[in-house]
Amino acid sequence: QVQLQESGPGLVKPSQTLSLTCTVSGGSISSGGYYWSWIRQHPGKGLEWIGYIYYSGSTYYNPSLKSLVTISVDTSKNQFSLKLSSVTAADTAVYYCARLTRGDRDFWSGYFTGWFDPWGQGTLVTVSS
Amino acid sequence: SSELTQDPAVSVALGQTVRITCQGDSLRSYYASWYQQKPGQAPVLVIYGKNNRPSGIPDRFSGSSSGNTASLTITGAQAEDEADYYCNSRDSSGNQEVFGGGTKLTVL
């Protein structure tokens, strides 16, 4: 059973870089077929997808955050990481890592499918001086 | 469009059936996945694909899709189903993941 665990500082100063790591256990990032993702949730608000990385290193980011976000992978440690630069108080949130599966296109409907599972427990990052 | 729209709040009487909806243009090509989130906890996948439940999710949870609307139905709602529910899909370009704003379900 694959499990994900976020780690990193819980407090970051404004204008600095937020850095988090997600450690994957029970399965290998290198096995392929999954997109390793970061999602955040501002206090009392909904979920915001930040971006994902494939084990090969290919990434895709939320356009609204693209200029500030870097996601990287370390297959030797079975980890992937998030860096968010020039943070402000608006970046205070619970940050989750999750595994995204994109399934095959449904033969009958032609629909595509995808889902996030499992999720890490989340880590609260507060941006404050 | 990269938006998924959900009603902010829905209520249901204990044991009754409730439908939570998610609307968006991309839902004409992509199935939604649904997540349950209880206070202080990470989201949990409850429905994915056409109508698939992960292991451990009760069969009172089901999903459906029609046109630009995806629905999560809870048949015989229980007190423990009280939570926030989020839909997720890709945007119309197929590259970006998006979440609905969430629906707070109250079981009366």
The residues near B93 (Cβ < 8 Å, ≥ 6 apart) are none
Distance CA A107, CA B61 (A): 24
**Per residue in A85-121, pLDDT tens?**
999 999 999 999 999 999 888 888 888 899 999 999 9
Instruction: Report the percent of chain A where pLDDT is more than 90.
Output: 87
Residues of chain A with Cβ-Cβ distance to B90 below 8 Å are 112, 114
Q: Tokens 């609260």 identify what position?
A: A124
Please name the residue of chain B whose CA is at the shortest distance from the CA of residue A50.
B97
Instruction: Report the percent of chain B where pLDDT is more than 70.
Output: 98
Q: How confident is the model at residue B2 (pLDDT cuts 50, 70, 90)?
A: low
**Per residue in A18-38, pLDDT tens?**
999 999 999 999 988 899 999
The residues near A85 (Cβ < 8 Å, ≥ 6 apart) are A17, A18, A68, A69, A70
The residues near A46 (Cβ < 8 Å, ≥ 6 apart) are B86, B99, B100, B101, B102
Strand B61-66's sheet: what is its strand order? Answer: B5-6, B18-23, B69-74, B61-66
Q: How confident is the model at residue B95 (pLDDT cuts 50, 70, 90)?
A: confident
**Per residue in B42-65, pLDDT tens?**
999 999 999 999 999 999 999 999
Q: Which two tokens stand for residue B97?
A: 């993941």
Range B67-95 average pLDDT: 95
Q: Which residue has the higher pLDDT, B4 or B1?
A: B4
pLDDT higher than 90, residue A80: yes
Please name the residue of chain A whose CA is at the shortest distance from the CA of residue B53.
A115
Alpha carbons within 13 A on the beta-carbon side of B57: 21
**Secondary structure of B15-72 in the HEC alphabet?**
CCCEEEEEECHHHHCECCEEEEECCCCCCEEEEECCCECCCCCCCCEEEEEECCEEEE
B24 φ/ψ angles, rounded to the nearest 5 degrees:
180, 150
pLDDT higher than 90, residue B89: yes
User: Do the bridges between strand A93-103 and strand A34-41 make them parallel or antiparallel, or are there none, so unpaired?
Assistant: antiparallel
Q: How confident is the model at residue B1 (pLDDT cuts 50, 70, 90)?
A: very low
Burial class (CB in 10 A: 0-12, 13-18, 19+), A26: exposed
Torsion of CA A35, B37, B100, B59, to 10 degrees: 90
Return mean pLDDT, chain B: 95
The residues near B14 (Cβ < 8 Å, ≥ 6 apart) are B77, B78, B79, B107, B108
Please name the residue of chain A whose CA is at the shortest distance from the CA of residue B92.
A112
Residues of chain A with Cβ-Cβ distance to B54 below 8 Å are 117
The conformation of residue A3, written as its DSSP 8-state character, comes to E
Q: Flag if B35 and A114 touch (Cβ within 8 Å).
A: no
Q: Flag if B97 and A49 touch (Cβ within 8 Å).
A: yes
- How far CA A48 is from CA of A66, A115, B89, in Å, comes to 13, 14, 12
Residue A127 contacts residue A65 (beta carbons within 8 Å): no
The conformation of residue B75, written as its DSSP 8-state character, comes to S
